[in-house]
Structure 1
Amino acid sequence: MARLRMGEGVLRRKPIDQITADTDAAEGERLTRTLGLWQLTAIGVGGIIGAGIFTLAGTVANGTAGPAVLVSFLIAGVASAAAALSYAEFAGLIPKAGSAYTYGYAVLGELAGWFIGWDLLLEYTAIVAVVAIGISGYFSFLIEDMGASLPHWMLGAPGTGDGHRVDLFAAALCLLIAYLLNLGIKNAARFETVVVGLKVLVVLVVIGVGFFHINTGNYHPFFPYGVGGAFTGAATVFFAVFGYDAMSTAAEESKDAQKHMPKAIVYSLIIAMVLYVLACLVLTGMQDYRHIDKESGFSTAFKSVGLGSLADVIAVGAIIGILTVMFTFMLGVTRVWFSMSRDGLLPKWFAKTHPTRHVPTRVTWIVGAASAVIAGFIPIGEAAELTNIGILLAFVVVCVAVIVLRYRRPDLPRAFRTPGMPVVPAVGVVFSIWLITFLKWETWLRFAVWFVIGLAVYFGYSYHRSELARQPQRTKDGPPRG
């Protein structure tokens, strides 16, 4: 009997028709609705475009895929698009903070929602750190190109170079983003929108100028590492083609989430993929893939064709532009953490918001400090290995959940409906699982350790403290039992 009750407990679902009501009733745990369509789109574009163009494109081109890095982005984009359409349906249906965590909780049950949320806490925090390290690489390039120098001890994590002790600039950036987010979502989003505009402008300049310096001979051979290299590259660049998922965590801060969130998700992915494809063509066309710098690819590519002054502009643009990726994912992790705490799966202390700015300041500073430690003391390769598997699993959960809910509750009003049901979500599931198989065993090991820790936290704390554990159980999203 106890086992039966345990089984029912981990499968308990948060009723969809009560989610909005619960959100509105939460005193001291309330977010402010201030974001419009284009602010949401800017947050999405800010999360997608960044390290993918300015760092990962060069990393994958030199050593993994060659000119076929373009194919790597397209493969990752197809998988991401299938998941994006599923996210869009949920964003219009459940306009609540938490993104994949909330969707999984409402459709697949508490345990599934818990593990997605638990994974995203690590994944999003690691992404913030990885991006900060990427910006630091461009910063170092810019300083050296100006003829200046900084002490070696502050230029990288231990083991990344002679005399390196800490990546001080990367760590400071993490704390800066935490500070900006704590100013309030309205002011933070205004900053994000302006900086995203500058970033897109820089990317357009890169594409426009670089187009006239393409040497088509650099495209041969197009698959120097075989077709498999392009697929391996897709697994690496995958985290560069999402960001809309983190943006969807801001649903409770959108003025008209049911209408605007689906549009913002679709718009941001389309804009990003067009720019990615064009930028990859320019990068691999300007310079032989074997000579592309892995940390500051476009800056060195432009320098190689005699455009050193523009290389400095690109470095500045990269530093400013990639900040928006940090902003989006730190926003995402803090809202997931806030949502889990409000639901009782983590201590309620974390769900308290600032009395006037209405943002979760406590978790924001904790995430800022944690990402600063990762960015400062872990090499970028090891930090990047923490990022992909949880996101891919979140995509699997969301794609499965949208199929399940479509058949379980076809009557629910949906502002956006995923096309090609159930084929499109199934494509997202297959691609995501397939990309997971390309990840290194060390990634699986780290994930397993985090999974076991999460299991202990859930059954030791969350299972008993959950808000649903204190309420009468419902069946099929209906009225309470007994």
Structure 2
Amino acid sequence: MNILSKVNRKTSLAKFIDRDKNLERTIGTKDLTMMGIGAVIGAGIFILPGTVAATTAGPGIIVSFIIATIVCSLCAMCYAEFSSALPVAGSAYTFGNIIFGEITGWIIGWGLVLEYMLSVATVSTGWSAYLQSFLANFGIHIPKALSANYDPSHGTYVNIIAILVVVLISWILTRGVQSSAKLNDIMVLVKIAIIIVFVVAGAFFVKPSNWNPFMPFGVSGVFHGASLVFFAYLGFDVIAASAGEVKNPKRTMPIGIIGSLVVCTILYILVSVVLTGIVSYKDLNVSDPVTFALQLIHLDKLGMLISVGALAGMFTMMVNMIFSSSRLIYSIGRDGLLPKGLSKIDDKRNVPKHSIIFVTIVIAAMGGLFSLDKLASLVNIGTLIAFTFMSIGVIFLRRRKDIKNDGFKVPLYPFLPIVSVIACIYLLLQLPLDTWVTAAIWFAIGLAIYFGYGVKHSRSNK
């Protein structure tokens, strides 16, 4: 068999289901929806509506979120169809492997590795900063040397809190899916409750005059705002990574993916409506617009509650991203493209313990030692590449007579998948050149690993 045939070989769905047989299906609809909300809603809900309104969309940020939701919904429906038809672990990596072939699946997976791990590492540093600020209110201070990433010129050597929170979450995940799901459910409910408290309390101080003019930057500003807030929804795709551990995936996966997106949309719009109603959009270009608005209406103590909400939001996001990272690495190891030890399932807890340990080491090192500010935009490119492949992949999925799907299907086929592809490509073209250059280096490294190790050890090519 020549190299071209090897790298483009498509693995059957039956083989993937057989490889995942040691995973236990314990995740229900409620837990899956909570996972999606936990992954999508982070500290950004208290920041993004204010800064984008101030600089790009004005009160029209409300419409921006609606437009972004429509685009995300197209991608979400494509993921929902794939998850219904292919109930196996690995998300877009495994889907791509079955539909397009191994090398395409690898490229998608390599992009998702970047998305998941880098996003957690970045958020872990933000969580550390929030916690340090919160503790400072009580006179508790972390030694400077342990407060931030390695930068001897400024007296910092390691971000110990960023490392510890990643280790804590990973330990929770090794205790089993049910234990981590229960904790995630609690934290998500806390986060939603705090958001509702802000919306209800703030509603009494809304001044409709602050919504006039509604679109100060014009229609183009609203659409530009939509391209910015689109990334606030990233995370719903991580639900697909758990397909191998979900009860009745044909029903549960579509409800979890689309349901979490609906809830998140409602929360984003409510916060945007109240925030721009309390404060003129011109004054919201600050690092903490929600806290700023609460100070303006003399509800300073509620600002402390918002900090708790932000901490809870980032914590649940990390829980779900680390969970998904470990399942992605497990899936790649399962297929032989990375060392097969990464796919070993713990007999007691039915979790891929080795892959959890691996992602913990990588993420903790990134978050604890390195400055990730310039790399954060790479999360977007990895996600959008996966979205593009999944959107166009629905067309190829429908043509596969060997894959039967009596569950969810994207409506208005093939029109909506094609629109989704166009929307994803448009957003990819909005990313800056330096992001593309860095991404090209990342994917070149990935191809070197694939051709140097993956092709030789691939289970599909044996």
TM-score (structure 1 length as normaliser): 0.89
Give yes or no for the alignment of 1:432 onto 2:428.
no
Cα 1:295/1:335, change in 2 over 3 Å: farther
CA contact (8 A) 2:19 2:334 kept: no
- Tell me by how many angstroms 1:86 deviates: 0.9
- Tell me by how many angstroms 1:65 deviates: 4.1
Deviations 1:184-204 (A, max 9, x none): 111111111111111111111
Between the aligned partners of 1:212 and 1:379, the Cα distance in structure 2 is 41
Give the match's secondary structure for 1:403: helix
Between the aligned partners of 1:160 and 1:241, the Cα distance in structure 2 is 36
- Tell me by how many angstroms 1:349 deviates: 1.2
Deviations 1:267-299 (A, max 9, x none): 111111111111112223223445436543322
Give the match's secondary structure for 2:122: helix
- Tell me by how many angstroms 1:393 deviates: 0.7
Who is 2:33 aligned against? Answer: 41
Who is 1:51 aligned against? Answer: 43
Amino acid at match of 2:4: G
Give yes or no for the alignment of 1:181 onto 2:178.
no
Between the aligned partners of 1:295 and 1:391, the Cα distance in structure 2 is 25
- Tell me by how many angstroms 1:407 deviates: 2.6
Who is 1:19 aligned against? Answer: 16
Who is 1:397 aligned against? Answer: 389
Deviations 1:210-241 (A, max 9, x none): 12222334435545555555444444433321
Give the match's secondary structure for 2:204: helix
Q: Find the partner of 1:365 among 343, 357, 360.
A: 357
Between the aligned partners of 1:73 and 1:159, the Cα distance in structure 2 is 38
Amino acid at match of 2:122: V
Cα 1:204/1:109, change in 2 over 3 Å: same
**RMSD, matched Cα:** 2.5
- Tell me by how many angstroms 1:440 deviates: 1.7
Larger deviation: 278-287 or 64-73? Answer: 64-73
Give the match's secondary structure for 1:459: helix
Amino acid at match of 2:237: D
Cα 1:225/1:136, change in 2 over 3 Å: farther
Amino acid at match of 2:317: V
Q: Find the partner of 1:7 among 4, 8, 30.
A: 4
Q: Find the partner of 1:374 among 366, 386, 394.
A: 366
Between the aligned partners of 2:65 and 2:366, the Cα distance in structure 1 is 26
TM-score (structure 2 length as normaliser): 0.92
Give the match's secondary structure for 2:378: coil
Who is 2:257 aligned against? Answer: 265
Q: State how 1:232-381 maps to structure 2 within 5 Å.
A: 232-292=224-284, 294-379=286-371, 381=373
Deviations 1:387-415 (A, max 9, x none): 10111110111111111111333871331
- Tell me by how many angstroms 1:147 deviates: 5.6
User: How many residues in Structure 1 have an aligned counterpart in Structure 2?
Assistant: 462
Give yes or no for the alignment of 1:108 onto 2:115.
no
Cα 1:67/1:196, change in 2 over 3 Å: same
Q: State how 1:66-215 maps to structure 2 within 5 Å.
A: 66-146=58-138, 149-157=141-149, 165-215=157-207
Give the match's secondary structure for 1:356: coil
Between the aligned partners of 1:399 and 1:282, the Cα distance in structure 2 is 34
CA contact (8 A) 1:374 1:383 kept: no
Deviations 1:45-87 (A, max 9, x none): 1111123313433443454544443344333322211011111
Amino acid at match of 1:20: I
Between the aligned partners of 1:341 and 1:180, the Cα distance in structure 2 is 22
Cα 1:160/1:277, change in 2 over 3 Å: farther
Cα 1:34/1:243, change in 2 over 3 Å: same
CA contact (8 A) 1:52 1:237 kept: no
Deviations 1:337-360 (A, max 9, x none): 101110111110111122211212
Where in structure 2 are there 5+ consecutive unaligned residues?
none
Between the aligned partners of 1:51 and 1:40, the Cα distance in structure 2 is 21
Between the aligned partners of 1:189 and 1:205, the Cα distance in structure 2 is 24
Between the aligned partners of 1:342 and 1:76, the Cα distance in structure 2 is 35
Between the aligned partners of 1:148 and 1:285, the Cα distance in structure 2 is 35
Cα 1:120/1:210, change in 2 over 3 Å: same
CA contact (8 A) 1:53 1:276 kept: yes
Cα 1:138/1:22, change in 2 over 3 Å: closer
Cα 1:131/1:297, change in 2 over 3 Å: farther
CA contact (8 A) 1:158 1:377 kept: yes
Between the aligned partners of 2:346 and 2:325, the Cα distance in structure 1 is 17
Give yes or no for the alignment of 1:444 onto 2:439.
no
- Tell me by how many angstroms 1:143 deviates: 3.2
- Tell me by how many angstroms 1:420 deviates: 1.1
Larger deviation: 172-181 or 267-276? Answer: 172-181
Deviations 1:369-395 (A, max 9, x none): 322233334446324212101111101
Amino acid at match of 2:297: V
Percent identical across equivalent pairs? 37
Amino acid at match of 2:9: R
